[in-house]
Structure 1
Amino acid sequence: MDIKIQRTTKPKTKPDQKALGFGKYLTDHMFLMDYNPEQGWHDFRIVPYRPIPMEPDAVALHYAQETFEGLKAYRYPDGSVHLFRPDMNAKRLINSNKRLCMPEVPVDLFVEACKAIVRVDEDWVPSEPGTSLYIRPFMFTSEGQIALHNCTRFTFAIILSPVGAYFAEGINPVKILVEDEYVRAVKGGTGFAKCGGNYAGAMIGQEKAEKLGYSQVLWLDGAERKYVEEAGGMNFVYSINGEFWTAPTEGTVLPGITRDSILHILRDWGVTVREERMDIDTLMAAGHDGSLKEAFACGTAAVISPVGALNYKGDEVTINNFTIGELTQKLYDYLTGIQWGKEADKYGWTVAID
């Protein structure tokens, strides 16, 4: 890739690394490239962070033909910077794009673009414990038309944000409301894809949960409103009688990269993992009889968010006395240890930007 680099003449003041929050600050530059059928992907460039021009009739605005990804860059103790499993994000974007009739971004091109923009803004990668540089690749049609037809011109972009903990609670347990009115996804839909419409449609459940004093929402399946699926914008994992369960990725659940990493580690540790459906009544019964030992949501942004309580139709169960589970803590420490370069990466998941 021949990337043209235009560096900013007005660098931003970097924020206090101890008070980053999540997604509050953007770095100095962004990556852009364009697509059309004649040239394929072309005009690779890194430019100062700035607004993206868009026509008022842009299909991305009217019909949501867009996809995105999320991954992180981590500062190692020796000062080097590494990405975590960027190839997995690239492969997931390809699948999302297929579903939304958008051209694929080849894996090598995606990874090199991420490495290139992080190299340019490398001094934005924080070094405080628990911090990282969040990488947001996204793609949309830059074509304008009111008629509902597929487009041929697209833009791929990457922006960066230095971040701390996603939730104010950090690694402390949160309360989750089980949503039994609205649904997030149905088979044959876009539940497996990382596209904006999924998240916009899920906001009402999150808003409802927060009004009732809960940090997150737990979604049930869209057909029967019975089987446990995702927690907010993250995958949901729980332990019953020593076995770890999570919903299968069969079209309605996002194939999370953190989820995949956690299941891989658990199996490596000899823990039984069951990627199977479980109905909410069985899960709540396990909470009441004490066999539900641990539960957590997981994703790139938060890594692991322990769940201390579940409320379903006014019936609330407390999990592990509202404390983080022993294996949940071990998973968090080990996975983040790999990501921050404090644990040996025997899986080959980390990628240096140089």
Structure 2
Amino acid sequence: MLNDLPIRKIIHVDMDAFYASIAQMDNPELKGKPIAVGGGGKRGVISAASYEARKYGVRSAMSGRLAEKLCPELIFVRTDFERYKDISNRIRKIFFEYTDLVEPLSLDEAYLDVTENKIGLPSATLIAQKIRQRIFDEVGLTASAGISINKFIAKVASDYNKPNGQKTVNPEDVLQFLEDLDIRKFYGVGKVTAEKMYQKGIFTGNDLKAKSLEYLDENFGKSGRYYYYVVRGIHNSEVKPNRIRKSLAAERTFSENLSSEIFMLEKLDHIAEEVAKRLEKSNVAGKTITLKIKYSDFTLQTRSKTLPYFVSDKVVILETAKDLLYQDKLKNSVRLLGISLSNLNTDKSVKAKPSEDKKKSVSVQLKFEF
């Protein structure tokens, strides 16, 4: 029953092609043209693409060379993170004029809990409209938004009418919305998982809902429980203004592929130093060290080791990363190496199982103005 669940008014605001839109705003000559942020040079990887470029299949994380083949007229522009941070801060100031419950996910998206808001407006839909209009008027960029009873549905809904649109999923519409949803649209279902679900006859939320908790646990591990509840509209995570950092990392893409571990040690030294600096700056330490290896064929491999104590020292991080590097033979030449620390001393969260009264499906009985 919906009455048994914490009903909130959650807005997920997602900026439209944020990095690329800033580049087009700063340089009017780029407006309406296919552009890619980053990705230039022989080994560049794209950070973002304008909607004009996306029509050709250009996407973030794609190599610049491939993007140029897909779109010969593609214009590459440099990243400018200081500019992105400045714009992001201006947008967040707007958010805080409506609620103090703002949880940034990145520079270009955030959750807002407007159940109780500073302007006393009962409609989350109208608040989202006001916020989007102010971002456009005061910053010059467009944003999309999703509005619903929890973070999961709001996140999914924000992608529904992109760009420069919004979608509200009212409490009485939640179940139907989720049942009709393509499984690829579920937040937390990546390309590999979606393919696996397809193979098992799961194409929509309705197909997912038909599977038992035991079946999902068996076939999708820890994520199975998550899928079981969100398809029933159950996602009780609150909007957390001070998000706890879960991991910290640094990585490098090389101008030439590396084929020997010996040549990688110098690179790991620099990466470990960067990680240590970031740990010191954030005043955190971690127990789990993960080595990320991306091969020349773009396949990805990770190797991890959890220590019995928290570490932030470069020497320990580097030595552990070396051990992980020598742990197994390399499959191919390497184009990228990364080191991350997780299981941080800031992570004090406890994962609790949903209580029995929260395992019930959402009903259509509660009227709630959105």
Could you say whether these structures have the same fold, taking a TM-score greater than 0.5 normalized by the shorter chain as the test? Answer: no
Range class of TM-score, shorter chain: under 0.3
Structure whose residues are more often helix by fraction:
2
Q: Which of these two proteins has the greater Rg computed from alpha carbons?
A: 2
What is the TM-score of this pair, normalised by structure 1?
0.28
Structure whose residues are more often strand by fraction:
1
